Amino acid sequence: MKFKNWFLLILLFLATGINAQIKNPVKFKFTINELGDNQYEAVLNATIENGWHIYSKDLPEDTGIPTDYKVSGKNIELIGKFTETGKKHEEFSEAFGGKIVYYSNAAGFKQKFKLKDGTKPGDVVAEITYQTCDDRVCLAPNTVEFNKQVTPKGTAEPAKADEKAEAAKDSLQPSPDTISVVETTAPLAKAAALDPKQLKISSIDIKNPLTDCGTGSSKINENYWTYLLLGFIGGLIALLTPCVFPMIPLTVSFFTKGNKNPAKGKRDALIYGFFILLIFVLLSVPFHLIDGIAGNIFNEISTNVWLNIAFFIIFIFFAGSFFGYYDITLPSSIANKSSKAEEAGGIIGIFFMALTLVIVSFSCTGPILGSLLGSAITGSANVPMLLTFALGGFGLAWAIVFGLLALFPQALQSLPKSGGWMNTVKVVLGFVELALALKFLSKADLVSKTFLIKRELFIGIWIIVAIGLAVYLFGLIRFPHDDKKPKISITRKVLGILGIGFVIYLIQGLIPSDRPKLQLLSGILPPLNVSYFHDEKDGILGMHPEHDFFKAIEIAKKEDKPILIDFTGYGCENCRKMEEFVWSQEDILPILQNDVVLASLYVDDKEELPEEQKTKIDLGDGQMKKVQTIGDRWSLFQTANFNNNSQPHYVLLTPDGKVINTPVSGYMEKEKFKKFLECGVNYYKQNK
């Protein structure tokens, strides 16, 4: 049974990379014009940076996100629908397969209204939802809100001078229903009763820390070469599958023996290998083209409960394919068209030969490439570049094998013959896919805070999978495409013994302990406190971090300690690695336990805030953004105060909210983190 797995491809290409830069290429100015006869016009003018554009409200269906402008408020009655002003552009989009309508440089949005009672003021609320794009990327759809009051002429006497001064003073203070991201001058030292909604703290100045010791670059080190190696290994494994391995001697022989000019044949084979590499690299291009969306959306995607459940199902689906119960193939029409294009001959024909190989081998390579994608999603803050390196490594493995065999065709005789061992490779990969699937289900469990998949349950399931793998390798169970009487080779026996060794390694994780075990799986397993032997409400390593910055401030003042802000996430693997590899060290843990107030702020917490805590954030220029969840709150807090939206991110503050030393980000060596902590703690002790 074959499946045309279009859904899989769409899902993979929707999951794009995280862009840590904060982009805001559109600025708005909100005004209200009086038209006379109790009629007004709410005007929102957009100034758009060069090279960027926003879509029109008249955008055709399924070609993007049209701009929507809404006006509402007390004592307001709308007149007609909103209109647009500016130079409208229309062009055909190959990506959408249709016409797009947009504005560049400037655009205006107008909505007429009147006051229901012309003798009373009206509160006008304008909200615009829009998407910004340039020639390379699109940013996440954004919604901002603006507020103004309309006062009919003659309904109020002009304010006196002292009243104006008082009003001006009041206008500088945040509204009870909003939080300000605009810099203020009120020092935190006097803020014994800080308003929890005021997420921009004036005393926090990351450009001028109290000391510069103990820190280096705060940028996350993207280990691209690790993903290149992972991709290369994945490519080598894929070569051993029955979809690809039998094609190696046939393809190489075609170039080396089927050509009257051996030198030309070898050259064409090398070009063939290069095109294979190029095709795999090109698969990552769509992620780069839309990586602007990921700056806001990708964190939502990577921590979305339902999408992680979808990935869990897909990986189970991958496993079933590798076990031989069905095949995952692309539509045959794609392979047929590519195969016909080979007849063009020359370099073009060679390119389509390489493309045909990639397409027809999808049944085996698709799940492996999907695994690389899943690893990149949860592994770093720059998924498009990681995928380029991973796919490049995958294609490089194929290019090297085909290229070397073309240069040294006699080596073909050394290759093992096709046989049942290739299906064994596929089945082993099926067990690997089962194990990886649980990782996504666990993340959905953590983000939703159901905490059903405890650490011990996760380990127990992996033990069962590892036992199943060992039993298979010893020939005690078979799958549909296995030989009826398989020959158990030395290699299978060795791998089976390694599987048993892995089971023994996993078993130690079932023994209760406050100290981390199974550090090789750190970042994959649930946190230490999500356990049958611990309360998930407690912290890890015997610590109870505060999850509210403002409460941490009060504790720090009472205990006279600096605050360590730990910007973290339920779906953050590097955060788990820091906790289990670094925090647990004997010369680090006492500092965290005794010398600082630890505030772990989860930026991906999907729990909605109570209605009285839901608020709006003032982005400046009258723009407002809603804060609906706990994650929204701390994500905006991090961005507003530290101009950073990556995790883990560590900041040391004094109890009065001053930055002690430069914050650090990402997974780092123990000595670097220790230096960062000791510098900040010692400075505070000496200068408090």
Question: What are phi and psi for residue 288, nearest 5 degrees?
Answer: -70, -35
Q: Which pLDDT value is given to residue 11? A: 38
Which pLDDT band, with edges at 50, 70 and 90, does 177 fall under?
A: very low
- The conformational region for residue 389 under phi > 0 = left, psi -120 to 50 = alpha, else beta, is alpha
Task: For 47-98, give the DSSP string.
Answer: EE-TT-EEE-TTPPTTSS---EEEEEEETEEEEEEEEEES-EEEEEETTTTE
The whole-model pTM stands at 0.52
pLDDT of residue 247: 73
Phi, psi for 145 (deg, rounded to 5): -130, 150
pLDDT digits (tens, 9 = 90+) for 636-688: 888 788 877 677 889 999 998 899 998 988 778 888 899 999 999 999 888 87
Instruction: Find the mean pLDDT for residues 237-244.
Output: 81
Identify the top-confidence range among 157-161, 257-261, 274-278. 274-278
What is the DSSP pairing of strand 178-180 with strand 615-620?
parallel
Mean pLDDT, to the nearest integer, of 605-614?
A: 79
Facing residues of 133 across strands? 53, 138
Give the pLDDT score at 504.
94
Residues 518-545: what's their mean pLDDT? Answer: 74
Average pLDDT of the residues in 119-127: 88
pLDDT of 137 over the 60 cut: no
Q: Is the pLDDT of residue 331 over 50?
A: yes
Whether the pLDDT of residue 366 is over 80: the answer is: no
Among 58-62, 212-216, 452-456, 601-605, where is mean pLDDT lowest?
212-216
Three-state secondary-structure class, residue 128: strand
**In what side-by-side order are the strands of the sheet with 122-130?**
68-74, 122-130, 142-150, 623-627, 615-620, 178-180
pLDDT at residue 55 tops 60 = yes
Q: pLDDT value at position 207?
A: 83
The yes-or-no verdict on residue 426 having pLDDT over 50 is yes
Question: What pLDDT sits at residue 215?
Answer: 59
Q: Which of 168-182, 241-255, 599-613 has the highest mean pLDDT?
A: 599-613
Read off the pLDDT of each residue in 516-534 and give the average, rounded to a whole number: 76
Helix (H, G, I), strand (E, B) or coil at 112: strand
The mean pLDDT value for 351-370 works out to: 76
Segment holding 589, helix H or strand E: helix 589-594
Lowest mean pLDDT among 13-27, 89-103, 299-313, 471-485: 13-27
CB distance 122 to 73 below 8 Å: yes
* Nearest in space to 268 (alpha carbons), one of 402, 450, 410: 402
pLDDT recorded at residue 303: 63
What per-residue confidence (pLDDT) applies to 10? 36
What is residue 184's predicted lDDT score, i.e. its pLDDT? 32
Q: Cβ atoms within 10 A of the Cβ of 681, count?
A: 20
Mean pLDDT of 256-278: 76
Assign 336 a pLDDT band (cuts: 50, 70, 90): low
- Cα(first)–Cα(last) distance of the chain, in Å? 72
Q: Per the structure block, which two tokens stand in for 57?
A: 């409200």
- Out of 336-340, 355-359, 511-515, the most confident range is 355-359
Where residue 359 falls among pLDDT bands split at 50, 70, 90?
confident
Lowest mean pLDDT among 249-253, 385-389, 423-427, 452-456: 249-253
Task: State residue 195's pLDDT score.
Answer: 55
Q: Which residue would you say has higher pLDDT here, 210 or 170? A: 210
Residue 109 has pLDDT above 50, yes or no: yes
pLDDT for 245 equals 78
Which has more pLDDT, 236 or 63? 236
Rounded percentage of the chain residues whose pLDDT exceeds 70:
73
Q: Which residue would you say has higher pLDDT here, 5 or 234?
A: 234
Q: Which residues contact 89 (CB under 8 A, 6 or more apart)?
A: 53, 101, 102, 103, 104
Give the C-alpha separation, 240 to 426, whole Å: 9
Q: Which two tokens stand for residue 658?
A: 């001053």
Q: How do residues 180-196 score in pLDDT, each as one tens digit?
A: 333 333 333 333 344 55
Q: DSSP H helical segments within 486-572, as ranges?
A: 490-507, 549-559
Residue 462 has pLDDT above 90, yes or no: yes
- Among 141-145, 200-204, 291-295, which is the least confidently predicted range? 291-295
> For residue 580, what pLDDT band results from cuts at 50, 70 and 90?
confident
* Interatomic CA distance for residues 471 and 85, integer angstroms: 70
Average pLDDT over residues 335-346: 57
- Environment class of 149 (CB within 10 Å of its CB; exposed 0-12, middle 13-18, buried 19+): exposed
> Measured in whole angstroms, how far is the alpha carbon of residue 590 from the centre of its chain?
33
- Per-residue confidence at 555, pLDDT binned at 50, 70, 90? very high
Per-residue b or e along 61-100, where b marks 16 or more CB atoms closer than 10 Å to that residue's CB: eebbbbbebebebebbeeeeebebebeeeeeeeeeeeeeb
One-letter amino acid at 357 equals L
pLDDT for 260? 61
Mean pLDDT in the chain? Answer: 76
Q: Which amino acid is at 68?
A: D
147 has pLDDT over 60: yes
Q: Looking at residue 9, what is its pLDDT?
A: 36
Q: How many CB atoms lie within 10 A of CB 537?
A: 9
Q: Whose structure tokens read 């230490």?
A: 528
